[in-house]
Amino acid sequence: MKKSALQIARASYQPKLPVSLTGPVVAVEGAPTQSVADRDEIKTLFPNTYGLPELTFERNPNPEVGKPVNVGVILSGGQAPGGHNVICGLFDGIKTQNRDSRLYGFLMGPGGLVDHDYVELTADIIDEYRNTGGFDIIGSGRTKLEKKEQFDKGLEILKELDITALVIIGGDDSNTNAAVLAEYYKSIGAGVQVIGCPKTIDGDLKNEVIETSFGFDTATKVYSELIGNIQRDCFSAKKYWHFIKLMGRSASHIALECALQTQPNICIISEEVEAENMTLDDVINYIADIVAERASRGLNFGTVLIPEGLIEFIPAMKSLIAELNDLLAHTPDFAAMSAEEQRRFVVESLSEANSRVYSSLPAGVARQLTLDRDPHGNVQVSLIETEKLLSEMVATRLEEKRAEGSYSGKFSALHHFFGYEGRCASPSNFDADYCYALGFNASCLIRAGVTGYMSSVRNLTKPSVQWIAGGIPITMMMNMERRHGAMKPVIQKALVTLDGAAFTKFAEQRDSWAINTEFVYPGPIQYFGPAEVCDQCSMTLKYEHAAK
């Protein structure tokens, strides 16, 4: 395969490991842990893997030679920059322990385990993928591993290949499944450890002990570059309002980080919309008022950042979607109905208030809310054109203002959606190092003999040699939530907190960004050059650390 000059140069980058992982390690146990909520239920559901201690790895002065181990690895869910480096780190880790160790990749996500679709990852293959973006080394998928039959079927191939540890690289849902699988294999004495790795560009798999998920850093840098480029064009031409939707199915971390990096005129944060109990009209008025104010100063241009998940956070929409989820989960023949029958069925079956909201939506958006959920039961918000919905409603509101005499500007809107552009980008130095460390660290968790743990690398605002490596019991991050119409144990999603350091920084400045034009142009990710350009972590991480 032909390679670009950057790919060739980048292949020889050697990711930096935390100093504790640069030689044999010993696992130091912390105190026993508890789940973040619903402790009795989680403890009952995970009798074998609940309450385990946190682990930290330190250099081992008296190492023993490691035995060879066969390990399986799965990439699960949406792509995130750095996934290949997790696998490279894992490969190098198990080979460092014993060169006869072997790594098998299950193909196209968790489905590969169930369908016995796999490839042995040899040094030749691994070397082709060092420091590259994408998940194409083994592919990814969204099959949900949740049934005993799937676990048993997977165990057959694990036994056949003599695999005694499985690493699942995924987001909150996939790591939830990893915890359930770990518990099951432990309960039947299967002799297979299960280790998770925190992946998602959305940045919503984080907590006190997992500082960030990998991929967030690179993806937000790519989007910020693009937003900066648009802002420079916008400031040059001075004639368009750009409505830019940004990925992040649920939490608004991506939009917030990009706002901090680029200083747009407007950025909507879904979590604030929910907390302030804002209606769709409130959001429209907020945007239209800023557009009108800028127009009164002769500024008929600007940028609006919109988080992909906004629609689900508008309280009336949230209640509608929750009822729809239950309704659809209990209506197996829904997919067989015609579009017209579906609409009538939904309107008649919903409660009065939700039925009214549903009927008031543009037909395309309403229909999207009833289409197939992803395997984890989520509405596929990336398919809803919120950026167009908002700009059309803003245009209507501005015409009302014009009629009232409070607006006399020009409003010409352009639309963008940034998501897929960033998910497979070549990992930033931060993600290249972080991912390699997460994978290498997973090999140490395997060596330590534990199961149901997530690979954890902390102290991330410091240079990578000072990072702290260890493991966190996944049950520690869990609570009970309603999914598919039933209560399920899941990893608690980290939403933007309105008293958090990143949001506070944004809120302090946004009124000034709205009226004055204070755009920042971050430019493309740099891989070679001064550390202050190449090795910076995300602003979210920086502000969150500074506040500790």
Check binding of 154 to ligand FBP (CB under 6 A). no
Closest to ligand FBP by CB, 251 vs 393, is 251
Binding mask 423-442 for ligand FBP (x = CB under 6 A): x-------------------
Closest to ligand FBP by CB, 186 vs 423, is 423
Check binding of 24 to ligand FBP (CB under 6 A). no
Q: Is the dihedral of CA 249, 250, 256, 259 positive or negative?
A: positive
Closest to ligand FBP by CB, 165 vs 201, is 201
SS3 471: strand
Catalytic residue among 92, 172, 202, 431: 202
Q: Which residues contact 128 (CB under 8 A, 6 or more apart)?
A: none
| 202 is an active site residue | yes
Residues 372-401 interacting with ligand FBP (rule: CB under 6 A): 381-382
SS3 408: coil
Check binding of 133 to ligand FBP (CB under 6 A). no
Report how far residue 134's alpha carbon sits from residue 527's, in angstroms, rounded to the nearest whole number: 17
Report how far residue 450's alpha carbon sits from residue 478's, in angstroms, rounded to the nearest whole number: 18
Distance of closest approach, residue 98 Cβ to ligand FBP, in angstroms: 32
- DSSP H or E run through 104: strand 102-106
Check binding of 201 to ligand FBP (CB under 6 A). yes
- Give the one residue of 84, 249, 294, 416 binding ligand FBP; rule: CB under 6 A: 249
Cα of 453 vs its chain's centroid, Å: 19
Check binding of 141 to ligand FBP (CB under 6 A). no
Count Cβ atoms within 10 A of the Cβ of residue 410 and give its class: 0-12 exposed, 13-18 middle, 19 or more buried: exposed
- Give the one residue of 182, 247, 393, 394 binding ligand FBP; rule: CB under 6 A: 247
Distance of closest approach, residue 418 Cβ to ligand FBP, in angstroms: 10
Check binding of 422 to ligand FBP (CB under 6 A). no
Count Cβ atoms within 10 A of the Cβ of residue 110 and give its class: 0-12 exposed, 13-18 middle, 19 or more buried: buried
- Part of the chain binding ligand FBP (CB under 6 A), chosen from 15-23, 229-237, 242-250, 288-296: 242-250
Q: Are strands 241-246 and 165-170 parallel, antiparallel or unpaired?
A: unpaired
Q: Which residues contact 61 (CB under 8 A, 6 or more apart)?
A: none
Closest to ligand FBP by CB, 27 vs 181, is 181
Distance of closest approach, residue 248 Cβ to ligand FBP, in angstroms: 5
- Part of the chain binding ligand FBP (CB under 6 A), chosen from 25-33, 96-104, 197-205, 263-271: 197-205
Binding mask 70-109 for ligand FBP (x = CB under 6 A): -------xx-x-----------------------------
Check binding of 308 to ligand FBP (CB under 6 A). yes
| Residues that contact ligand FBP, how many (by CB under 6 A) | 15
SS3 71: strand
Q: Which residues contact 427 (CB under 8 A, 6 or more apart)?
A: 81, 82, 85, 131, 132, 133, 215, 218, 435
Distance of closest approach, residue 365 Cβ to ligand FBP, in angstroms: 16
Closest to ligand FBP by CB, 69 vs 247, is 247
Check binding of 248 to ligand FBP (CB under 6 A). yes
Residues 503-542 interacting with ligand FBP (rule: CB under 6 A): none
108: left (phi over 0), alpha (psi -120 to 50) or beta: left
Check binding of 171 to ligand FBP (CB under 6 A). yes
Query: Is the Cβ–Cβ distance between 321 and 379 less than 8 Å?
Result: yes
Cα of 244 vs its chain's centroid, Å: 19
Radius of gyration of the chain (CA): 24
Active site residues: 202
Q: Residues in the site for ligand FBP, rule: CB under 6 A?
A: 77-78, 80, 171, 200-202, 247-249, 308, 381-382, 419, 423
